[in-house]
Structure 1
Amino acid sequence: MPTALIADDEPLLIAALTERIRAVWPALEIIAVAKNGIEALSLLSQMQPDFAFLDIRMPGLTGLQVAENVRNTRVIFVTAYDEYALAAFEACAVDYLLKPVSDERLAQCIARLQREAAPKADWPRLNRELTASNSPSYLQWLTASLGDTTRLIAIDEVRYFQATEKYTEVVTLQGRFLIRTSLKELLPQLNPQRFLQIHRSYIVCLPAIDRIEKDLLGRQAIYLKDSTTTLPLSRSHAAQFRQM
């Protein structure tokens, strides 16, 4: 029976991908999951699965760094790189799935894994190609939960993020959803041309802002377009808007 490992720093993504892979390839046994690159490399060395589905951006080691140290496992990258950069994966004979992964694309990838022998990946070339062809890779989508429902949310839908005691709320026009990623971890993954932190508990989407107002006590608030929502703007973050 073929075996596989899945590595991603978002547990919901691991669960969703595991379920979908099992539906497409019931004979494939998922024998391990990892939440960061270091754990992935350790498990791969110990268990030697036939396949590894690796996120590219993970804490500790990137998916590329893990793959370069794997010898007997066929690597499939699950990546948010844009379509232009994916030419590098094609040229270097590397299997990949582009997030968000469609059912059709997953089925095509599984069919290729079942049909073809592992290609010889050109890791040095891949690193050069990705470095040359890509600006920083920012989040394009995320997986969030609302009750028992898990939803795939495009970053373009997000109006703001709000930190709560245990979670981060993702607020869109369609509703409020929860993710486990903190604002501190989330901010470097967001395009700074589109998102700014305005308070220790808030990150706002710049195109969603209508205006900034100051009250009699000098406190500033951000008003969002198409709603009555206002968000606090702390003094320590207000300078960002004066520089624009």
Structure 2
Amino acid sequence: MSLPAPPTAVIAEDEPVLARSLARLLAQLWPELSIVGVADDGLQATELALAHAPDVMFLDIRMPGRNGIEVAEAVADDWPEGRAVPLFVFVTAYDSYAVPAFERAAVDYLLKPVTPERLQQSVARLKVRLAERAASPQAGEMAALMGRMQAIAAPEAVPEAELAERIKVLRAGVGNTVRMIPLAEVVCFEATEKYVNVVTPSGEALVRMSLRELMARIDSSDFIQVHRSVLVNANAIQSATRDENGHYSLAVRGLQRPLKVSRAFGHLFRPM
């Protein structure tokens, strides 16, 4: 019987001194762990993860390109089917930086500067999780991760007193004009950093709110989430096509380009 391959990891940290310090501590505390890549921004971290398929990722929260949570979500979205996604450990300089959210999406989180004692605890936790994963189906690990990622993206509950304020007609800016767009005319919503792009067959417009806020306030059951940044009108979906990597893309009425479906929502389009 062949021995299992040694565990691998990617470090994402935009401060070189801290990246070297973390790698040095890991070499001392977990000598069998192989660091297969070090990234100094979120986009490179995503590329390294998909190229090397590490068992663990240590992700700085605040990085150029993508923050740590966005990297974890992007990696999970594009991860090859049939392989266990990495175990994520977030690293942050702020002990009050949405720690409860990190705990839902990560095996652990570490505060900067990382101490040997705290890292030793994290290593022990990671070893247990890797052992459990080796003994259980990979599909269960993927389902658990996707559940945690969806918990972060889930819309916040709206108090009963605010239900009357739910949106039925959107007021979207187009230059100096404000378009009044009934929800039924919307093909899809696409989140950007500070806005939501409202797409209709006649054009696009922006509203100044987050996708989470919009999801909580629209008064419609017709919209489904197909990606962490996309809601689509179910009545406008014409077909879903699955590629060789298991990813779905949607052909949507009134939209000239396909919409990508993340792996977390691919089950919505499997044949009945």
Could you tell me the TM-score, scaled by structure 1's length?
0.49
Name the one with the larger helix percent: 2
Name the one with the larger strand percent: 1
The answer to which structure, 1 or 2, has the higher relative contact order (CA under 8 A, 6+ apart) is: 2
Could you tell me the TM-score, scaled by structure 2's length?
0.44
